[in-house]
Structure 1
Amino acid sequence: MAMTHEPCAYCGGCQHPRERGHVIQRSLYPSSVPSNVQRPTVPECAECKKIWQDAESQFRNVVLVAGEANDSVTELWNGPVIRSFDKPSGPRWLRDLAAQIVPVETTAGPRRAIYPDRDQRVMIVMRRIIRGFCHYHNLGTAIADCRVFAQVMRYEIPPAFWVRFVPNSLGDQFCRYWYYDLRDEDPDHHSSWVIEFFGRTRFFGIVSANEAGWPEHAA
């Protein structure tokens, strides 16, 4: 069945036109990603796309700024990101990014930092990515009825649990991710996710199968 005829990976609906949507937005892929690496895509309806389309620019910019730059970050920032600030929406994107950068005190003295999970636009996109990967890896059973919680990963996962996560890579300098299918082990939870961008910023996500498994602030 053509992807445009399948239910939307995010809402499960068929009432709106669907297209092939990238789980990770195309604007975030550096040219260094090998051509033989498959870019995950899923059915995406027009109404769902409206929810996060504008937020994707903020997601890209925040993820690129968070942490030390590698070659992929430098390529994207000095190329498409800088050029995007000349577009009609560019000044707003630049202001939105600057508003998330705050002064902090460190042992090395005053610095500036950015906290991706303090920006709701960033987290809307992050939760969408997790839902998309659930569908892409055939974990999408009733995913539209599940809740997704995500935040920047602050703690290490105990080794006994970490070995159960399935590893995947879209290029080590770009994106690596791991998932743990919990459906046969825990009736309240669907899956757990770790998604790393550019070798430094990791997000942790939980997909809850029912209300009993919803962490606080799940959406």
Structure 2
Amino acid sequence: MLLAIIIGCEIGFWALLAAGLATRYLLRWRRVSTVLLVCLPLLDVVLLAATVVELRGGATAGFSHGLAAAYLGYSVAFGHGWVRWADERFAHRFAGGPPPKAKPRYAPARTRYEWREFGKATIAWAIGCGALLAMVAMVGDAERTRALVGWTMRLTFVWAVWSLWPISHTLWPARPKDGEAADGGGAAATSGRRGARW
């Protein structure tokens, strides 16, 4: 059941996002769009509540409970960026907005971009592991929460592998070849430009 809720939350996220942007740019219903987009974080609340209810009901933690914690972490850390990514493309396609800028290819803009993304990954790791440890403390039974402890190791492994990317861009930064134009900063240098307007 919990796995179905996770899938439902993922589908619901993109459905709400599409509906919110469609009502904003196609129907010009700004207030309705704002309400729909503000509802996006409620999906995380639903998932968290379902996980807590199931564990407090005596369930033994399994794969789906760990996945729920990981999903929660990455949704909180990267959710706003996903909304901004979709908003830029809707605005360009339906409201005459500027073309979305690709991520920068060369240092130093690319290096800053990779460290910023890794910062989000660190937030996701912290939230996910925090949720897992909170579940372990709430249940108070090592046998029932063994899978959750294993998930902290999975999330830590993903975080450690992710760290190699910004480190490599710092130690061996990509440079434009002779005659090739350097980046103007791309998406990383313009993070403050118009994005999700809600």
Q: TM-score, normalised by structure 1?
A: 0.25
Q: Which has the higher helix share?
A: 2
Q: Which has the higher strand share?
A: 1
Q: Which has the higher contact order (CA 8 A, sep 6+)?
A: 2
Structure of higher CA gyration radius: 2
Q: TM-score, normalised by structure 2?
A: 0.27
